[in-house]
Amino acid sequence: MGKVIAIANQKGGVGKTTTAINLSSALAHYGKRVLLVDFDSQGNAGRGLGVDVTALPFTIYDVLTGEKEISAVLMKTGEPRLDLLASNLKLASLDSYFIQKGKNNPFYALKEALVPVREAYDYIIIDCPPSLGLLNINGLVASDSVIIPVQCEYFAMEAVAAILSSIVQIQNSYNSALRIEGFLLTMYDQRTALGTTIAREVRDLFRESTFETSIPRNISIPDSTMQGKPVTTFRPNAQGSLAYFALAREILGHV
């Protein structure tokens, strides 16, 4: 049975999608079968893999509303062993759809949707949106563990406190098995005082659960997104790629 890992932090722009794409690609590089679930209506995980998400006839929205089988919506990507469950702006209307239909257990929709494909993958990586709303809760309820990217910037620790309290609430109410896979320092620049200060704070507070690997700020990462490719295949020797390969190896070493 595949391991389901959410990438979550309600703070915007901290490297969730970049981590989701490149961790997925790096795990596939190491021979694992991976499904990347784009669970954000911005559709950036799909775009980062070169998909024109605005033109898709069906997306994860149609799976969650019961209109389509998940197997009919899954897409191959340009990367071997990496599949995508794409999303687009339509996903933003899921809350109102569920309210209108009076849906029972709306927080379990993603978990239930993934059941038919859990055997087919070694890892299912969920790129969560920057919110603590319905989608984020669904992402955490569906997951075995969560990676929390922490950008080494102002207000990083406030965001960490908020996501941690959300995780505890979910553990208490819906998914007691949810574990923290790790805190991941992103866009880390060790030449800046702020970067090193935040990194030290996170490592001091969460020593056991902070990944040894940190992701450096690296221009090859936005460059590869522009090309619609993971940096790990677009420029496999770039510092950003080496970091995501190292992160994948750390995760492969976790039980």
- Give contact residues for ligand ATP (rule: CB under 6 A): 12-18, 40, 42, 44, 130, 186-187, 215, 217-218, 221-222, 225, 240
DSSP 8-state code for residue 81 = T
**Which DSSP symbol is given to 185?**
E
Query: Which CB, 17 or 233, lies closer to ligand ATP?
Result: 17
Shortest distance, position 6 Cβ to ligand ATP, whole Å:
12
How many other C-beta atoms are found inside a 10 Å radius of the C-beta of residue 166? 18
Residue 43 touches which of ligand ATP, Mg ion, none (CB < 5 to 8 A by kind)?
none
Q: How far is the CB of 128 from Mg ion (least distance, A)?
A: 8
12 binds, among Mg ion, ligand ATP, none (CB under 5 to 8 A by kind): ligand ATP
Residue 151 binds Mg ion (CB under 5 A): no
Q: Count the site residues for Mg ion by CB under 5 A.
A: 3
DSSP string of 212-223, one letter each residue: S--PBP-THHHH
Nearer to ligand ATP, 15 or 195 (CB): 15
- Comparing CB distances to ligand ATP, the nearer of 16 and 117 is 16
Nearer to ligand ATP, 117 or 195 (CB): 195
Helix extents (H) in 9-59 = 16-29, 44-48
Task: Give the sheet arrangement for strand 34-38, strand by strand.
Answer: 75-76, 82-85, 34-38, 123-127, 3-7, 145-151, 179-186
CB of 125 to Mg ion, least distance (A): 12
Q: Which residue pairs from 239-243 have beta carbons closer than 8 angstroms and sit at least 24 positions apart in sequence?
A: 240/22, 240/215, 240/216, 241/22, 241/26, 243/213, 243/214, 243/215, 243/216, 243/218
| Partner interacting with residue 221 (select from Mg ion, ligand ATP, none; CB below 5-8 Å by kind) | ligand ATP
Amino acid identity, residue 57? Answer: P
Contacting Mg ion within 39-68 (CB under 5 A)? 44
Q: Count CB-CB contacts under 10 A for residue 51.
A: 20
183 burial class (0-12, 13-18, 19+ CB within 10 angstroms)? buried
Q: Give the residue with the Cβ less far from ligand ATP, 12 or 116.
A: 12
Q: Token pair for residue 1?
A: 């049975």
Compare residues 175 and 218 and give the one whose CB is closer to ligand ATP.
218
- Residue 27's binding partner, choosing from Mg ion, ligand ATP, none, with beta-carbon cut-off 5 to 8 A by kind? none
Q: Is 22 or 117 the residue whose CB approaches ligand ATP more closely?
A: 22
**Which has the closest alpha carbon to 224: 83, 100, 78, 90?**
78
Binding mask 12-41 for Mg ion (x = CB under 5 A): ----xx------------------------
Q: Which amino acid is at 103?
A: K
Which of ligand ATP, Mg ion, none interacts with 232 (beta carbon under 5 to 8 A by kind)? Answer: none
- Residues of the shown chain interacting with Mg ion in the complex, contacts defined by CB under 5 A: 16-17, 44
